[in-house]
Amino acid sequence: MNATIDGTMDMISEMFDIKFRERSANIWHDDVKYFDFIRDGKTIAGIYLDLQTRETKRGGAWANEFSKHYIDANNQEHLAEGVVAANFPVAKDGNPSLLSINEVNTLLHEMGHAVHLLLSRVNEYDLGSFSVDWDVVEFPSQFLESFITNPDVLRRLGKHYKTGETIPDYLINRIIAADRFQKGLFLVRQLELGIFDLELYQKDSVTKQSVQD
C-alpha cells in the first residue's frame, strides 16, 4: 500500500506540477496521514489519507471535501481540504498492507476525486469542487483510474513487496486482457440504455404500460 501511494503521488505530481509534503495534523486515528499540496513552494490545499480497514469504519471507499477553495467577501482566500478513505488490508505479521489490482484501481479513482477538489481554483463557494454535475465529478476519477492499464504505470506501482522486483510483462498483459474482456458487450448495453432513455423523453406522456410497450 505504501509503495502504491508513493507511486500514485509521484504520478500525480508529474501530471499536475505539484508536490506532496507529509506533516503532522489533527487526526482521528493513528493510521491517518496528512499531506499538503505544494505548488511553486506554496501550500494550495491539504488531504487526509485514511486507507486501512478497521471495525469502526464503514465499508467501501470514498473521497469527501472538508472545505472548498473559495474567496470570501473580505477577499480572503480559503484553501481546500479533503479526505480519501478506503478499507485496504491492515499491515500485520511484519508484512505491509498488500493491495489487489482492484484496490489499486480504487486508490487511483478516489485520488482522481481528490485532485478535482484540491486543485480547483474556483473562487465562488457554491460553484467549487463537487458542486458541479455528476458527470463532471466522475470525469477526473475515471481519468486517473484509466491509467491502471498503462504498462509504464503498472511497472511504477507494481513492485514485489519483498524483493522490489518490477511486475513482469506477462502479468501486465494479463491485467490488460482482463480489463478489456467483454468491454464491447458493456458498451452495447450502455448504448441500449441511452437509446431507451431517449425514446422515453421523446414521448408526450409515459405510463407503466407504455414503458413496457
- Residues with catalytic function: 110
| C-alpha–C-alpha distance, residues 152 and 163, integer Å | 19
Identify the three-state secondary structure at position 206.
coil
Name the residue type at position 172. I
CA distance 86 to 32: 11
Residue from 201, 73, 55 nearest 125 by CA: 73
Residue 51, C-beta contacts closer than 8 angstroms, at least 6 positions apart: 1, 5, 31, 84, 85, 86, 88, 97, 107
